[in-house]
Structure 1
Amino acid sequence: MRKISTLFLMISLLGFTGCLTEKPDSAKEKTVKLAERDLADIKEEGIVRVVTNYNSTNYFVYKGTPMGYQLELLQEFANYMGLKLDVTVNNDLTTNFKNLQTGKIDIIASNLAATLERDNGVAFSEPHSYSRQVLIQQRYAPDNGEAHQREYNKLIRNQLNLAGKTVYVQKESAYATRLRNLAQEIGDSINIVEIADYEVEQLIGLVAQGEIKYTVCDENLARVNLNYYPNLDVETAISFPQKLSWAVRKNSPDLLNVINNWLISFKKTKQYSNIYQKYYLNKRSIHLVDEGFHSIKGGQVSDYDDMIREESEKFNWDWRLIASLIYQESRFLPKVESWAGAKGLMQLMPSTAGRFGVTNPEEPRQNIRGGIELLQWLDERLKNRITDPRERIKFVLASYNVGLGHVLDAMNLAEKYGEDPYKWEDNVAYYLLHKSEPKYYNDPVVKYGYCRGEEPFHYVTEILERYDHYKNVME
């Protein structure tokens, strides 16, 4: 977790504190012209672009698997709509609202309090959950020893006692709005410091460490964080329960309508209840963040991260792509063997292992090196045909799974039927997927015969989707 230096705090205090009872500067600016993009445009592209925030409940990676309350809701919505989900992560609300307005994203999927005062072209969805805002304060210092030796702090229980206090919150958040309103209600000043690019949980951590005294958070997330920071107190409410919603552009009424109808129905299901309990109420899930294989704290995908980085660097491959492939092949289990005899982290067949000098495929470093050498070999074979490396990697991954011959057959079929043989989606991917049909595997342009194409088709999609998630949260 990043720390705020003393100098930074002084600058922040000079720049942002005071009794902020009027709207922030961003609310005074002229309304940005909204992008013209609604449900029909999204369906035509086949992709819904969303942003969420990176924290221990909404979006993270655990043992190589992308997880999170918002991510699971988004996946359910995308599946319902038959759309591909394009997820980005940004904890800066100002940037997120700007990107929503300009059409870079279609949905801000986080715990946004649905307020009436925003006049920046934003419309809020039906609530996906409810929570009140609470004050986060330190009960005792984190290193005060055993319980009987601790010195407990005097806690604020009456909102009137916030007068003159300094509270740090995320910039442009509903917490800042609520504190401004509270200052009016108690008839006194509250020094509000709005921090850009700091997510709520980072500020909670700073309170726990004693670097700042107060912040504000939704109660459901606050109680999750008590499991990480038992020295905190979250019992003082500063608001009534509020609706927590997604945000879309005001001029996207069709998108808003379909989200609302879906949320109303989905929240009645057992599936929604399970998702909510998993991230906010399940003690076992809450403690996942304490383990090293969590992107929030430990930052590891597997026990082999350093090894994957080192071997990937030798061949100029992105280690996160290799990690995603290894997860697909073996779930990071070095001694696993497939029914066909493929072994190890990257599931090398005996002939492949021999070709690339892998004498012990169960030895992780040997196996990783051999697998990357195979990827490199495939990439070299396809480089002259497919010059765009972002497009070529799809062909390379498919070849790694099913063999280069079947991929070349699918390229020949695409060309024969008037499609682009150098483009994957809806072109070569289609013919590989259908290469189990006699019409295609008996075609004269096919040299390698029958292929169960469903597996490589999904193999490419799943590895690249997971790779995108890894890029969101890991360097």
Structure 2
Amino acid sequence: MVWKKYKILTAIVFIAASFFEVRECYLPKWLTARRGSDTALVHRDLEQLKKKGNLVLLTENNSTAYFIYRGNPMGYEYETIDSFARSIGVQLSVAVVKNIDNIFGMLDSGTGDIAADNLTVTNSRRHKVDFTLPLFTTRQVLVQRKPDNWQKMNQQQLDKALVRSTIQLADKKVYARKGSSFYERLQALSDEIGGKIEIIDAPPGESTEELIGDVATGKIDYTLADENCAGIVSGYYDNLDIKTPVSFPQKIAFAVRNNSPDLLNALNEWIRKKRKSKFLQLTYDKYYSDKKFASLRQSAPYCSISGDRISPYDDLAKKYSPLLGWDWKLLVAQIYQESQFDPRARSWSGAYGLMQTLPSTSNIDSADMTPEKSIASGVEYLKTIDDYWVKSVSDEKERIAFDLASYDVGIGHVIDARNLAVKYGLDPAKWDNNVAYFLLNESKPKYYNDAIAQYGYCRGQEAYQYVREVLNRYQMYCNIYGNNGNENAKPDGESTSIKNNKAR
């Protein structure tokens, strides 16, 4: 009797399953389940992320995943996950993974919420994380160096001089990061070809792009790479060959903790929608097919891939930021927010230049405004603001948010928000979830009509977002360019003279 009931239940389950698209995991998680136990050390699913208002992406700083170009974050992984973050109403932050072998451990420990780095879906990885629907497929290819006289060879001669079959890899030294999908593939190939491949562990933290560069410069002879990435990076060198495949097409996907089913479902739904809109294909083409853009970001002076400068105004930021006690990268982040580094930027209100100061603030006519004058006048106004807030907000990090908000919306509205925080029992010296809450809500009659709100109605959402975006961009700069906040502190005895301004 029990056996009959079991068979009936099984039949019902399979009949129900026929109404779903099994290949895209529409079945409930208990029916499609898995492979391994919950390995995550933290629980932070979609609901918690929305409540927090922030999503953290784990990825590398390289020429396709994530980089800074003229002060603006870019990259396939960054643009796609940023689009997803906006679709669920949260802000995106980035945690740069220095050693890609640690990415899944960082995911499980809660350092980030989504891992995205051209990640190959493998069975061994499925025991650690949950993968989304595939974004695209790619093959692994052998990266090798052409002979010194390759320009004088015809194709037949070149093919003869190079490895064109995986069988030829027997007894060859091939470098790969231990724990990578490339290392797994080399181990499998070594069994398949009936001859031992000498797999050499790459130095910890060395990226695939760096290994490809090592092949080009002759430090090593062979490595493996995903074909889409190899196609871009090999374009920087004229002596590399990537035409020998070593795998079948493999799925590339995002990864989440295995205790985040709602986040996984939201990502999958987003992927389905973006497939239809062609967003994913267009973004892929931008970073993996556009060789001209790839060449530009490799050689551009203000790209994190090719240099250590964020903008043409870094030196001016280093000159004036000590007056505020700020890291120069924070000032650069604010300059980008104000003008996107356009010295001729002008707002509807008449604010002009890199720091968008008004003529009444800077005492400088727009025709006479230079980048240095704009930064100097902006910093002077920030100093006036900071001198006011230092009396009531002693914590320097907290005070930065007060300074930025006051610069954007005017100090009076921030004073109102602070007074409202006092009235409602919150901390008037803390920004997040305290003063920021009331600034965000100063467009509501309940608050702007309050007798203690002397400056009245305010579109606080704009200033609130301004602070978040400047600080988030600053953190991105620190992730890539370093986090030494005191590297440009003013030397003893040095002074920088700027005029005193009263308003923005």
Match of 2:165 among 150, 158, 161: 158
Paired position in structure 2 for 1:7: none
Q: Quick one: which amino acid aligns to residue 40 of structure 2? A: L
TM-score (norm 1): 0.84
Paired position in structure 2 for 1:232: 240
Taking the aligned partners of 1:219 and 1:348, their CA distance within structure 2 comes to 49
Q: Does 1:349 align with 2:355?
A: no
RMSD after superposition: 2.9
Paired position in structure 2 for 1:329: 338
Paired position in structure 2 for 1:249: 257
Taking the aligned partners of 1:461 and 1:115, their CA distance within structure 2 comes to 37
Taking the aligned partners of 1:112 and 1:437, their CA distance within structure 2 comes to 45
Alpha-carbon distance change, 401 to 294 in structure 1, aligned in 2, over 3 angstroms: same
Q: Does 1:316 align with 2:322?
A: no
Taking the aligned partners of 1:345 and 1:466, their CA distance within structure 2 comes to 17
Note the alpha carbon deviations across 1:391-444, whole angstroms, 9 max, x for none.
221111011112211211121223334444333334433433443455543432
Contact 2:97–2:103 (CA<8 Å) still a contact in 1?
yes
Paired position in structure 2 for 1:68: 75
Taking the aligned partners of 2:53 and 2:323, their CA distance within structure 1 comes to 37
Paired position in structure 1 for 2:63: 56
Q: Quick one: which amino acid aligns to residue 236 of structure 2? A: Y
Taking the aligned partners of 1:182 and 1:46, their CA distance within structure 2 comes to 45
Taking the aligned partners of 1:190 and 1:339, their CA distance within structure 2 comes to 66
CA deviation after TM superposition for structure 1 residue 148, in Å: 5.9
Matched positions, count? 440
Contact 1:93–1:171 (CA<8 Å) still a contact in 2?
no
Contact 1:38–1:253 (CA<8 Å) still a contact in 2?
no
Contact 2:352–2:366 (CA<8 Å) still a contact in 1?
no
Q: How does 1:10-409 map to 2 (within 5 A)?
A: 34-39=40-45, 40-118=47-125, 121-140=128-147, 154-195=161-202, 196-289=204-297, 290-313=299-322, 315-354=324-363, 362-409=369-416
Taking the aligned partners of 2:450 and 2:126, their CA distance within structure 1 comes to 60
CA deviation after TM superposition for structure 1 residue 373, in Å: 3.0
Taking the aligned partners of 1:375 and 1:194, their CA distance within structure 2 comes to 51
Taking the aligned partners of 2:437 and 2:259, their CA distance within structure 1 comes to 35
Contact 1:358–1:366 (CA<8 Å) still a contact in 2?
no
Q: Quick one: which amino acid aligns to residue 162 of structure 2? A: L
Q: Which moves more between the two structures, 185-194 or 372-381? A: 372-381
Taking the aligned partners of 2:358 and 2:323, their CA distance within structure 1 comes to 22
Q: Secondary structure at the match of 1:233?
A: strand
CA deviation after TM superposition for structure 1 residue 211, in Å: 1.8
Contact 1:332–1:345 (CA<8 Å) still a contact in 2?
yes
CA deviation after TM superposition for structure 1 residue 37, in Å: 0.6
Q: How does 1:441-452 map to 2 (within 5 A)?
A: 441-452=448-459
Q: Secondary structure at the match of 2:401?
A: helix
Point out the structure with max Rg over C-alpha.
2
Q: Quick one: which amino acid aligns to residue 452 of structure 2? A: V
Gaps of 5+ in 1: 1-30
Q: Secondary structure at the match of 1:268?
A: helix
Taking the aligned partners of 1:395 and 1:215, their CA distance within structure 2 comes to 51
Q: Quick one: which amino acid aligns to residue 247 of structure 2? A: S
Taking the aligned partners of 2:229 and 2:428, their CA distance within structure 1 comes to 49
Identity %: 44
Taking the aligned partners of 1:450 and 1:258, their CA distance within structure 2 comes to 37
Q: Quick one: which amino acid aligns to residue 35 of structure 1? A: L
Taking the aligned partners of 1:167 and 1:215, their CA distance within structure 2 comes to 5
Contact 1:343–1:361 (CA<8 Å) still a contact in 2?
no
Q: How does 1:413-424 map to 2 (within 5 A)?
A: 413-424=420-431
Contact 1:320–1:471 (CA<8 Å) still a contact in 2?
yes
Q: Secondary structure at the match of 1:342?
A: coil
Taking the aligned partners of 2:53 and 2:138, their CA distance within structure 1 comes to 33
CA deviation after TM superposition for structure 1 residue 446, in Å: 2.2
Q: Which moves more between the two structures, 146-155 or 380-389? A: 146-155
Q: Quick one: which amino acid aligns to residue 274 of structure 2? A: F
Contact 1:170–1:194 (CA<8 Å) still a contact in 2?
yes
Contact 1:353–1:359 (CA<8 Å) still a contact in 2?
no
Taking the aligned partners of 2:38 and 2:205, their CA distance within structure 1 comes to 21
Contact 1:38–1:255 (CA<8 Å) still a contact in 2?
no
Paired position in structure 1 for 2:501: none
Note the alpha carbon deviations across 1:83-114, whole angstroms, 9 max, x for none.
33232011413322222232332221121111
Taking the aligned partners of 1:359 and 1:80, their CA distance within structure 2 comes to 39
Alpha-carbon distance change, 32 to 454 in structure 1, aligned in 2, over 3 angstroms: closer
Note the alpha carbon deviations across 1:33-72, whole angstroms, 9 max, x for none.
6314142443443433331111111100111110110011
Q: Which moves more between the two structures, 307-316 or 61-70? A: 307-316
Taking the aligned partners of 1:304 and 1:227, their CA distance within structure 2 comes to 30
Contact 1:435–1:451 (CA<8 Å) still a contact in 2?
yes
Note the alpha carbon deviations across 1:250-286, whole angstroms, 9 max, x for none.
3333433333333233333222222112111223432
Taking the aligned partners of 1:138 and 1:64, their CA distance within structure 2 comes to 35
Alpha-carbon distance change, 157 to 292 in structure 1, aligned in 2, over 3 angstroms: same
Q: Secondary structure at the match of 2:186?
A: helix
Paired position in structure 2 for 1:4: none
Note the alpha carbon deviations across 1:312-367, whole angstroms, 9 max, x for none.
2454311111111111112222233434333322122234324xx99996232333
Alpha-carbon distance change, 385 to 360 in structure 1, aligned in 2, over 3 angstroms: farther
Q: Secondary structure at the match of 1:51?
A: strand
CA deviation after TM superposition for structure 1 residue 74, in Å: 0.9
Taking the aligned partners of 1:340 and 1:149, their CA distance within structure 2 comes to 65
